[in-house]
Structure 1
Amino acid sequence: MRLLRSTDMALRVLMRLAVAGKSTPTTREVAADMNVPYTHAAKVVAELQHRGLLETRRGRGGGLSLTEAGRDASVGAIVRDLEGEGDVADCEGTAPCPLNSDCRLRGALRRAQEAFYAALDPLTVADMVADPTGPLLLGLPSARRTS
Structure 2
Amino acid sequence: MHLKQHTDYSLRILMYVARKREALVSAREISEAYGISYSHTVKVVNKLGKLGYLDLKRGRYGGGIQLAAEPETINLATVVEQFESHLNVVECFDPDTNTCTLAGNCKLHGALQQAMNAFIDSLAQKTLADLVGPQKTTPNPVS
Could you give the per-residue CA deviations for residues 44-89 of structure 1, whole angstroms, max 9, x where no partner exists? Answer: 1111111000011111121000111565211111112211343211
Question: Contact 1:52 / 1:70 at 8 angstroms: preserved in 2?
Answer: no
Bigger Rg over Cα = 2
SS of alignment partner, residue 125 of structure 2: coil
Matched, 1:121 2:124: yes
Segments ≥4 residues shifted beyond 4 Å:
92-95
| Structure 2, unaligned runs of 5 or more | 137-143
Gaps of 5+ in 1: 134-147
Contact 2:91 2:98 in 1 (8 A): no
The aligned runs of 1:59-74 (5 Å cut-off) are 59=59, 60-68=61-69, 72-74=73-75
Question: What does 1:1-147 correspond to in 2, within 5 Å?
Answer: 1-59=1-59, 60-68=61-69, 72-91=73-92, 96-132=99-135
Q: What is the TM-score normalised by the length of structure 1?
A: 0.82
Q: Distance in 1 between matches of 2:10 and 2:71?
A: 11
TM-score under structure 2 normalisation? 0.84
Question: Identity across aligned pairs (percent)?
Answer: 34
Query: Contact 2:72–2:128 at 8 Å: present in 1 too?
Result: yes
- CA deviations on 1:82-132 (whole Å, 9 max, x unpaired) are 113432111257671111121111121111011001111121111101244
Q: RMSD in angstroms over aligned alpha carbons?
A: 2.0
Query: Retained in 2: the 8 A contact 1:18–1:71?
Result: no
Q: Kindly tell me: are residues 52 and 26 of structure 1, through their superposed partners in 2, closer, same or farther at Cα, counting changes over 3 Å?
A: same
Q: Which has the higher contact order (CA 8 A, sep 6+)?
A: 1
> What amino acid is the match of 2:91?
D
Structure that is richer in helix per residue: 1
